Amino acid sequence: MPLVTPEIYVKMLEAAQKGNYAYPAINVTSTETANAALKGFADAGSDGIIQLSTGAGEFASGLHVKDMVQGSVTVAEHVHRMADNYNVYIALHTDHCQPKKVDTFLKPLIDETARRRSEGLPNLFHSHMYDGSELPLNENMAIAKELMQLCKDNEIILEVETGVVGGEEDGMDHSDQPREKLYTTPQDMVGVYEALSPIGGKFMLAATFGNVHGIYKPGNVVLKPKILKEGQEAVVKKFGKEAYFYLVFHGGSGSELADIHETLEYGVIKMNIDTDTQYHFTEAIVKHVDENRKELTHSGTDVANKKKFDPRSYLKKAEENMAKRVTQGCRDLKSAGKSIYKG
Nearest residue to 20 via CA among 245, 204, 267: 267
Considering the candidates 43, 84, 95, 170, report the single residue annotated as catalytic: 95
Q: Are 336 and 44 in contact (CB under 8 A)?
A: yes
Phi, psi of 207 (to 5 degrees): -90, 140
Q: Establish whether 188 is a catalytic residue.
A: no
What CA–CA distance (Å, rounded) separates 53 from 30? 12
What CA–CA distance (Å, rounded) separates 63 from 48? 29
First-to-final CA distance of the chain: 8
Q: Are 205 and 248 in contact (CB under 8 A)?
A: yes
Q: Which residues contact 264 (CB under 8 A, 6 or more apart)?
A: 20, 21, 22, 333, 334
DSSP tag of 163: S
Nearest residue to 147 via CA among 80, 192, 116: 192
Nearest residue to 32 via CA among 253, 288, 285, 331: 285
- In DSSP notation, 80-95 reads HHHGGGSSS-EEEEE-
Which residues are catalytic, by number?
Answer: 95
